[in-house]
Structure 1
Amino acid sequence: MEAEMKAIVFDAIGSPRDVLYLHDVPMPRIGDGEVLVRMVSASVNPGDFLFIQNLYPEPKKPHFPHQIAGNHGAGIIDAVGANVALKPGTLVAFSHYNSWAEYAAVPAEWLIPLPADYPLERAGQMVNPITAWDLLADSRVQPGQWLAVTAGYSSVSTMVMQFAKRRGINVIALMRRSHDRLDLKRLGATATLDLSDLKVGIREAVMDMTGGAGLNGIIDNVGGPASGELIRTLAMGGQMVINGGMSSERFELHNFDVLLSGVEIRANIYRYFFSPPVEADRPVLREIVDIFGQPDFHISVGGIHPLAQFELAVANSLDRADLGKQIFRMQPGP
């Protein structure tokens, strides 16, 4: 009889609230160049929901029946195929497919080896610090200059702030409504802007906070009218990096809003969305892994769940992002 495992799967395109279910599926088989990973943790991310709704471009498309959800996670190498240098027992993180399951078959080239004692709630979300690191670099903001970050309480945004603080970059964190569960200034925000309590326009508030200097960069996870106001606050040569679209609203610009300030608007595509890590990435990955693993680097974990609690993990991710990152814990670690 073929061995089976538990996995969160879906058979149709739709809202993750409606189409996901827990199911017994066959254990994955590995071929040459692949490893069998015994999953220990996996994060729940907005991008996972885009995959479930079939909004990603090729080749990131679901295949039915029983498409396993989840694109990011960590686990212990249980077995290796031919031509694999990594050894069984190694803790690894990856961004690929099928992470919301007890086991995953992953091409070895996609794996990021981690120290054996790496905190599992961090190992399962390596996509977030890598994204935050790249967003900060893409913003091109220099020490002493000003960066605005929307969705200030989100996991990626809080990581951007902490990386920015290490580099002496001033950060304005924007949020729809402030709360006292997380002190963003302690994490590195120079100032915060509560959009529910604005007494003046966004541009006026930002210019006041920056002493008239304006913004040198924006990392935008939301969109909507506030994004247009922020763009009009960019100093000459500033840049907006779009990383998400939490708002269903649009923003409007005139050509002169961009042309007369030499502004650039660009998208951030996760560096391992289309292709795996390469050897030249290893030094920066080691640096990110080291910083992210330090106890004083804050991560906000809103819940650690077994696979059977996927409905709660999904609901918290969609409705209560302020709680922090939702994590699946499949099995004990090493």
Structure 2
Amino acid sequence: MRSILIRSFGGPGVVELAEVMPVPQPGPGQVLVRVAAAGVNPADWRIRAGEVRRLGEPPLGLGLDVAGTIVAETAEGGRFRAGDRVFGVVVPPQGSFAEYVAVPETALALTPDCLEDAEAAALPVAGLTAWQALVGAARVLTGERVLVHAAAGGIGHLAVQIAKAHGAHVVGTAGAANQAFLRALGVDEAVDYRTPDVFARSERFDVALDPLSGANALRSLDLLRPGGRLVDVRGTGVDRTGLRERAEAGGVELTELYFRPDAADLGALADLAARGALRPHLGRVLPLERAAEALAEVERGHARGKVVLSVAAG
């Protein structure tokens, strides 16, 4: 089978298309999935660059998001059957940028009929991050004011829809070129993060979701009411001790979140999609052999929605 891997950490040049890789053999609790599409996330280029080392040393497969079809069920007889369309999360050293992957059933959910495979592949990591931030950590409630930074991005555009589905009043930030896109997503107010300065606003929010981190997280504290909740899904940049101390002093609940694969949460995302309340936006769909280009595009930032790789198993 074909698979994307790296044999050393580095720039786009280390990304390799391996043509004759063995089809993985599922272990206990795993199913074999024929991959139809794989989403591209910022974590993928950070793994390529060596910024994320906890997944091991090269050689490593790349890719976390997967959507495809079950071709081999678990030996124990689990939740899925051959022929089921599924989406979920694959963790390196295997990686989802491949024609076949072995995936734990606990990291998968059934793909709703309303989503094409490429759309389903755009949903797992960004969708889980947005869901676990807003519903799990922030416990967003009907009528609350929610600020979503980078609202046109992979996490942000899904977070807007999730917050709206929970009855929140949503303000989203993005560049000038993405203002109409934010309004189409359903934000109550679209704000150009350059002008006017969102951090100069006088009103206060109940919840802020920050996928940017750095100084952005620190400045977001001043936009929250006492008792408000800031969810930082990057956890990098400014001194983290200082950020935590500022949050505590201001009476703000700070959560530094890294998503976790969870079948129930994936199922909740599928339910929202089936209800018409959640739709991933595909910024670009590229073939598997252009994985290096896809990673570089995500690394440059400012992409609208998600970049996805189309995979055709041989």
Deviation at 1:8, TM superposition (A): 0.7
Q: 2:15 aligns with which of 17, 20, 23?
A: 20
Once superposed, what is the RMSD of the aligned Cα atoms?
A: 2.8
Specify the alignment match of 2:156 in structure 1: 157
Letter in 2 for 1:6: R
What corresponds to 2:123 in structure 1?
A: 126
2:255 is equivalent to residue 261 of structure 1: no
- Does the 8 Å CA contact 2:67/2:118 hold for their aligned counterparts? no
- Rg comparison, structure with higher value: 1
Distance 1:116 1:147 in 2: 30
Relative to structure 1, is the Cα distance of residues 240 and 22 closer, same or farther in structure 2, using a 3 angstrom cutoff?
same
Pair 1:325–1:6, CA change in 2 (3 A): same
Moved more, 151-160 or 292-301: 292-301
> Aligned-pair distance for 1:155?
2.1
Structure 2 counterpart of 1:92, from 79, 86, 90: 86
* Cα separation, partners in 2 of 1:10 and 1:57, compared to 1, 3 Å: closer
What are the equivalent positions in structure 2 for 1:309-324 lying under 5 Å apart?
Answer: 309-319=290-300, 321-324=302-305
Map 1:1-334 → 2, pairs under 5 A? 5-15=1-11, 17-24=12-19, 25-56=21-52, 58=54, 61-65=55-59, 67-85=60-78, 86-97=80-91, 98-115=95-112, 118-127=115-124, 128-137=126-135, 138-175=137-174, 177-180=175-178, 182-198=180-196, 202-205=198-201, 207=202, 210=203, 214-244=204-234, 257-272=246-261, 277=263, 281=264, 285-293=266-274, 297-319=278-300, 321-331=302-312
TM-fit CA distance, 1:41: 0.8
Deviation at 1:321, TM superposition (A): 3.5
Residue-by-residue CA offset, 1:233-279 (whole Å, 9 max, x unaligned) = 2111111101126x86779958884344311211112132xxx53xx
Change (3 A) 1:182 1:48: farther
* TM-score normalised according to structure 1 size: 0.81
- What secondary structure sits across from 1:239 in the alignment? strand
Point out which structure has higher relative CO (alpha carbons under 8 A, 6+ apart).
2
User: What is the TM-score normalised by the length of structure 2?
Assistant: 0.85
The answer on whether the counterparts of 1:36 and 1:77 sit within 8 Å (CA) in structure 2 is: yes
1:268-306 Cα offsets, whole Å, 9 max, x none, are 12132xxx53xxx3xx54342022245564432111121
Q: How many residues are treated as equivalent by the alignment?
A: 306
Whether the aligned pair in 2 keeps the contact of 1:226 and 1:251 (CA below 8 Å) is no
Instruction: Tell me, in whole angstroms, the C-alpha distance in 2 between the residues paired with 1:50 and 1:9.
Output: 14
Deviations, residues 137-163 of structure 1 (Å, cap 9, x unaligned): 222343222221111211221111112
TM-superposed CA distance for 1:48, in Å, is: 1.9
Q: What is the rounded CA distance, in whole Å, between the counterparts of 1:108 and 1:219 in structure 2?
A: 29
CA distance in 2, matches of 1:328, 1:294: 26
Q: 1:256 to 1:314 in 2, by over 3 A?
A: closer
Aligned-residue offset at 1:100: 0.1
**Gap runs ≥5 in structure 1:** none
The percent of aligned pairs where both chains have the same amino acid is 25
User: For 1:259 and 1:23, how far apart are their aligned partners in 2?
Assistant: 49
